[in-house]
């Protein structure tokens, strides 16, 4: 798995999440319990710009869904055929992102209505 890197803003949000929600984090000493072997050890996740701590990735990060989607995008994304942007498909046959799908539906409806008007005028 490729290790994702955080921006400074994302690191700040991750630190806040660690202090509030991580059960392995000792707030008084700013240390990580699993890494502490008698002498103090700083929580690696709070000082690193990469997601190294497995417990943080699997248990703490899902509590902040927005941050999780920024750092770990869903695996089953597709690329829109019109704009090329990645999106999370709602069904297995989707080919377009929601924005382009909406525009395409409106375009198809306009074409269909135009054809109907032309048929009525020909009669």
Residues 37, 64, 4, 91, Cα dihedral to 10°:
140
CB 44 within 8 A of CB 35: yes
**Secondary structure E strands in 1-123:** 25-26, 31-32, 78-79, 86-87
Query: Do 31 and 21 touch, CB atoms closer than 8 A?
Result: no
pLDDT confidence tier of residue 37, bands split at 50, 70 and 90: low
Q: Is the pLDDT at 111 greater than 90, yes or no?
A: yes
Per-residue pLDDT averaged across 30-49, rounded? 73
pLDDT band at 1 (very low <50, low <70, confident <90, very high): low
Instruction: Give the percent of the chain with pLDDT over 90.
Output: 30
- Confidence category of residue 29, pLDDT binned at 50, 70, 90: confident
- 4 and 71 in contact (C-beta within 8 Å)? yes
Q: Report yes or no: 60 and 48 within 8 Å, Cβ to Cβ.
A: no
Q: For 43-97, where are the alpha helices, taking DSSP H only?
A: 44-47, 54-55, 65-71
- Taking every pair of C-alpha atoms in the chain, what is the biggest distance, in angstroms? 91
Chain mean pLDDT for the chain: 86
| pTM for the whole structure | 0.54
pLDDT in tens, 51-104: 778 888 888 888 988 888 888 877 788 899 999 998 888 888 999 999 999 999
């Amino acid at each position: 798995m490729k290790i994702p890197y955080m921006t400074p803003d994302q690191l700040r949000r991750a630190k806040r999440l660690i202090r509030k929600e991580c059960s392995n984090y000792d707030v008084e000493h700013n240390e990580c319990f699993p890494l502490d072997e008698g002498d103090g050890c700083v929580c690696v996740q709070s000082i690193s710009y990469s997601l190294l701590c497995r417990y943080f990735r699997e248990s703490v990060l899902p509590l902040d869904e927005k941050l999780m989607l920024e750092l770990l995008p869903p695996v089953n994304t597709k690329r829109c055929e019109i704009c090329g942007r990645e999106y999370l498909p709602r069904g297995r046959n989707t080919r377009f992102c929601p924005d382009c799908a909406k525009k395409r539906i409106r375009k198809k409806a306009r074409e269909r209505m135009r054809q109907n008007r032309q048929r009525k005028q020909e009669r």
